[in-house]
Amino acid sequence: MERIEHFLKEREESGLLRTLKPAASRSEGLINFKENVYIDFCSNDYLGLSGHPALKSSQKEAIDTFGSSASASRLLSGDLDIHHELEEKTAHFKGKESALIFNSGYQANVGVISALCGRGDVIFSDRLNHASIIDGIVLSGAKLFRFTHNNIANLEELLKAHRKKYKRSLIITETIFSMDGDKAPLKKLVELKENYDSFMMVDEAHATGIFGEGGSGVAEEEGVSSRIEIIMGTFGKALGSFGAYVACSENLRSYLINASRSFIYSTALPPSVINANIKSIDLVREEPYRREVLLENARFFREELQKNGFKVKGASQIVPLITGESEPAVKLARELRDKNYWTLPIRPPTVPEGASRLRFSVTYYHTKDLLKKLCDDIVQIHR
């Protein structure tokens, strides 16, 4: 207990103590917290689908048919026809032979990586990959080499020096990075993967539903889906629901059903969630204007901030405003909250030391007029 108390005190004194902030309600880009209504810039509901009438009705339909829970793991009695319907639809959506549903992005990354790799194998991971990827690598027992973020030359140096020493080789990257909002150089990564006898896994959690002609993600946009062995993503962000998927070959799907502990030992996602996921893929195709408006408005906001001298990153709906140290990020977030904007500071260890920021998640609800006013308010605070 003394160690725990010391940890908490140290975090509080350094301004890094995390606390939960329960909201009374959230809908259509707004969040109600302590009887105040704020414009929500922390949500990953990028396309505004979480409140879509079609998703709500699909959930009610599933509850009426199947009840509120799957009530067991899929290898017992929790496997339903609609789980398979979703997997078939996901595979087609991602341009792959097959797909397997997981209960969350964290469980997918941890379960897939630890099942695929082990001692004697090697994994090359982008330095800014999500914590769930790192945890999966640690669980696998494989040797880890982290390459400088989006640095093809550094990755090739590592492959040249180390690939031949190990049995299997896996290269892992996100396609849209959750804290910087930038894209991975997928085509070049795929070329290296093929040149160095490796296989590849990409995390499309923040790209699914937004990028590509059909909204499938960056792998579709870059035309490399067929050359990437494992494409992972989530239903809980742009698709407005919950859960995750892995799109892959039929053989790999069968292997994961038998070897991925996070899949085997979890109660299946409830039918209401599965039905909503099925409908959300349909909506991405039926309402492409949502992602078009989203990306245009995010581009506008990023350029407005740059015009006013702010340091921003990314090329997506995620717009990080870099403050450097933690204190300015905390101060800016607090003053923006006074103006009814809900945005929280991102600080170490989530981002590296000296890279604290406000991470603005632009959604379909954020119009250009709203984003222009937000930029003007940030400028006013900095005067």
- Provide mean pLDDT across the span 346-373: 93
pLDDT at 383 over 80: no
Please report the pLDDT score of residue 142 as a whole number: 98
Please report the pLDDT score of residue 211 as a whole number: 98
Please report the pLDDT score of residue 221 as a whole number: 98
> pLDDT per residue over 362-373, tens digit each?
999 999 999 999
Catalytic residue among 94, 193, 206, 366: 206
Can you point out the beta strands (E) in the chain?
25-27, 30-33, 36-40, 98-102, 122-126, 143-147, 169-174, 199-203, 230-234, 244-248, 318-324, 341-342, 345-346, 356-361
Q: Which two tokens stand for residue 350?
A: 């989530």
Note if 237 is an active site residue.
yes
> pLDDT per residue over 322-333, tens digit each?
999 888 998 999
> pLDDT per residue over 74-115, tens digit each?
999 999 999 999 999 999 999 999 999 999 999 999 999 999
pLDDT at 14 over 90: no
> In the structure, what pLDDT confidence band is assigned to residue 60 with cuts at 50, 70 and 90?
very high
- Provide mean pLDDT across the span 276-294: 98
- State how far the Cα of 104 lies from the Cα of 277, in Å rounded to an integer: 13
pLDDT at 15 over 90: no
- Is 3.20.20.140 the CATH classification of the domain at 53-286? no
- Provide mean pLDDT across the span 116-125: 98
Which position has the higher pLDDT, 382 or 134?
134
> pLDDT per residue over 201-214, tens digit each?
999 999 999 999 99
pLDDT at 34 over 90: no
> pLDDT per residue over 206-264, tens digit each?
999 999 999 999 999 999 999 999 999 999 999 999 999 999 999 999 999 999 999 99
> pLDDT per residue over 145-193, tens digit each?
999 999 999 999 999 999 999 999 999 999 999 999 999 999 999 999 9
Note if 149 is an active site residue.
no
What is the phi/psi pair of residue 69, to 5°? -145, 150
* Contact between 320 and 179 (Cβ < 8 Å): yes
The model's pTM: 0.94
Please report the pLDDT score of residue 276 as a whole number: 98
- State how far the Cα of 365 lies from the Cα of 51, in Å rounded to an integer: 12
Please report the pLDDT score of residue 13 as a whole number: 82
pLDDT at 303 over 80: yes
Q: Which two tokens stand for residue 236?
A: 């809980």
User: What CATH class has 22-47+288-382?
Assistant: alpha beta
Amino acid at 26: R
- Provide mean pLDDT across the span 301-328: 95
Please report the pLDDT score of residue 351 as a whole number: 87
Most confident of 6-10, 100-104, 348-352: 100-104
Sorted by where each begins, the domain ranges of the chain are: 22-47+288-382, 53-286
Mean pLDDT of the chain: 96
Percent of the chain at pLDDT exceeding 90? 89
Closest C-alpha to 297, from 206, 372, 217 = 372
Note if 178 is an active site residue.
yes
Catalytic residue among 83, 237, 279, 313: 237
Closest C-alpha to 204, from 228, 174, 230, 244 = 174
Closest C-alpha to 321, from 353, 354, 295, 357 = 357
